[in-house]
Amino acid sequence: MRDLANRIWTMIERARAEAALRQSEQRFRLMADAVPQIVWITDTEGRTEFFNKQWSNYTGVPYEQATATEVAANFVHPEDGTQTIEAFNEARRTGSIFSVEHRIRSAAGTYRWFLVRAEPYRDPQTGEIIRWFGASVDIHERKQAEATILQQEAQFRQLADAMPQQVWITDAQGNTQYVNQQWTTYTGLTLEQTQDIQYATQIMHPDDFEATRQLWSTALAMGTPYQAEFRLMQQADNTYRWFLSRAMAIYDEQGQIVQWFGTSTDIEEFRRAQVEREQLLQREKTAREVAENANRIKDEFLAVLSHELRSPLNPILGWTQLLQTGKLDEARKAEALKTIERNAKLQTQLIEDLLDISRIMQGKLSLTAAPVSLTFVISAAIETVRLAAEAKHIRLQLDLDYTVAPISADAARLQQVVWNLLSNAVKFTPAGGQVTVELRQLNQLAQIRVIDTGKGINPQFLPYLFEYFRQEDGSTTRRFGGLGLGLAIARQIVEMHGGTVRAESQGEAQGATFIVQLPAMKQTASIVSELVETKIDAGLPLEGIQILLVDDEPDTREFQAFLLEQNGAKVIAVASGLEALQALEQSIPDVLVSDIGMAQMDGYMLLQQIRSRPLQQGGMIPAIALTAYAAEIDRQQALQVGFQAHITKPVESDVLVKAISISLGRI
């Protein structure tokens, strides 16, 4: 009975266990069918033991026991079958989780992507794998999204590589994740090298690195748009070019920065154009300022010119009117004549300065060079200012080295330079002061220094001292006269001789020093024998010379005739070219002195008529043009027509006399 009872109990327990198992299997199947995924079980060899109804719903095929190879062959996409089998075999071999992504054919014949994953189940006693419990999850939408993303990334890269700009992407912390081909081509850096800060410091201009780094750090910290201009080195030739770099933050759905997208645009040409534009604007501004300053200087000069030309006329006209009254005694007459002469010479000098400036600006100021002793030049200039210095009780001090080598120069022009410096020194030195002239040899240079104890020069005006029409005081209240041309002329003459002139002054009321340096000649016996003292003021008598004087202005003609007769000449004075030709029929003069600007027949036409005559009828008599036409072109035209000399009015008597003597070969 006991055995029977045990067997019955065992049968009852087995029935209960089987019922529990069936109930468990039923619950498992219900649960498996309830999930949306395909659930399956295989044995250790991969033969299927179970598929939930999702398998049949998807494939349209009822469950049948099959091997993994058969399932792969019948339902998995042909391109994915091999890798599926290989992955399952690897999982069996290693006992690891089986995982693969492959496409499974649906009942409609289309394929969808599934993520297949299975866990091994081991025998509790032996530890051997006896089953695989797996699921296949539909990931088709995810795979499509990934494919779309990959396609978009490929398109983005193609677009980025096609862009002329450098394109780059970083993560939220600024670490570079992508650079396009333009970046690599320009810098020569790969993505990996770009991620190394050492490479970045090598390609960016050192002057731009710190400012750029600060701008980038601020953008990263604040999440604000980034913009910077900097220079990058081009690997092709190691030159720098300017770039404009901009970047914007990319946010996720939670509003957090996940990336930065940026571009760097080559703006080298724009920067150059910008610099050129700024330079052009600056040049235009400077030119405008120069023009405005030139206009101001011109206006000041014209005002000064009007004043300076009118000022000498006032005493000339005034004393002339008083002389005409006949009420002046002899002393007053002498004073009047000296005043008239002094002011006439002053006006003549003003006109000569204007003519010299015209010649200089046209490049027609000419020099007649010969060996010249500077001691002679300085001495002659001293004599011209001595009376003015004595009138102000100014002491003229000479400190001359008489061994200074001669120079090759135009003596008259150099005397003009020294006279200008001396006259300025006397003009600007107060009564009782001193003007010193030094002459020294400095190696191959002869140096003249004119030192005064006068009003000095404002240091701010020193750079403009030798410019045309510039005066330190151009106002109507200025104390000293002049046109402001003398120093400009002096500089030009000195430079034409290969020398230099400069001024020094400690400031106002500190006096001034003018220094002229000229190249000296090597002294030889021939030079010493040629060296002559040039006396500009030396007069030469015209005794025994017959002169035909032609001028249509009665006062000028009468004065010139009187002047020539005072020097011993016999003068035939006529008022026109026609009268001059008639006079030639009566006698042949030794020399012709003719005005140029005359009615009916000017001086050029007259000389052409004379030169067409035979020699015995005066066709080759020496001729001198005496005219108010003082331009260089007028001088050249006179010489081309056949005049031996061209002298401008008003003329010093000794200059005219000397010219006549030279034309006759008497000196």
Strands 239-251, 226-234: pairing is antiparallel
Closest CA to 80 of 37, 139, 36: 139
Provide the pLDDT for residue 214: 95
> CA torsion, points 230, 235, 239, 242, in degrees to nearest 10?
-20
Strands (E), 172-316: 176-179, 226-234, 239-251, 257-266
Provide the pLDDT for residue 523: 54
DSSP element (H, E) containing 277: helix 268-325
CA dihedral for 400, 404, 406, 408, sign (positive or negative): negative
Q: 266-308, pLDDT tens digit by residue?
A: 999 988 988 889 999 999 998 898 888 777 767 666 665 665 5
Provide the pLDDT for residue 243: 94
Provide the pLDDT for residue 295: 79
**Could you tell me which residues are beta bridge partners of residue 120?**
132
CA dihedral for 107, 110, 111, 112, sign (positive or negative): negative
Compute mean pLDDT per 10 residues along the chain, 667 residues long, and list them.
Answer: 65 61 61 80 86 87 70 86 91 93 92 94 90 92 84 73 83 91 90 83 91 94 94 92 94 92 91 89 89 74 62 75 84 83 73 70 74 86 83 90 87 85 91 94 94 91 80 45 72 91 90 94 49 42 89 87 88 93 92 91 92 88 87 84 86 82 75
547 Cβ neighbours under 8 A, 6+ residues apart: 564, 569, 570, 571, 572, 589, 590, 591, 592, 593, 660
> CA torsion, points 336, 337, 342, 346, in degrees to nearest 10?
100
Q: Which amino acid is at 311?
A: S
Q: Is 377 exposed, middle or buried (0-12, 13-18, 19+ CB in 10 A)?
A: buried
Question: Rounded to whole angstroms, how far apart are CA atoms 414 and 473?
Answer: 27
Closest CA to 607 of 630, 631, 647, 637: 637
User: What are phi and psi for residue 545, nearest 5 degrees?
Assistant: -100, 135
Provide the pLDDT for residue 80: 92
Question: Rounded to whole angstroms, how far apart are CA atoms 170 and 177?
Answer: 5
Q: Which domains does the chain have, with CATH numbers?
A: 35-138 (3.30.450.20), 150-266 (3.30.450.20), 280-358 (1.10.287.130), 368-530 (3.30.565.10), 546-663 (3.40.50.2300)
Question: Rounded to whole angstroms, how far apart are CA atoms 213 and 228?
Answer: 9
Provide the pLDDT for residue 4: 62
Question: Rounded to whole angstroms, how far apart are CA atoms 88 and 95?
Answer: 10
End-to-end CA distance of the chain: 182
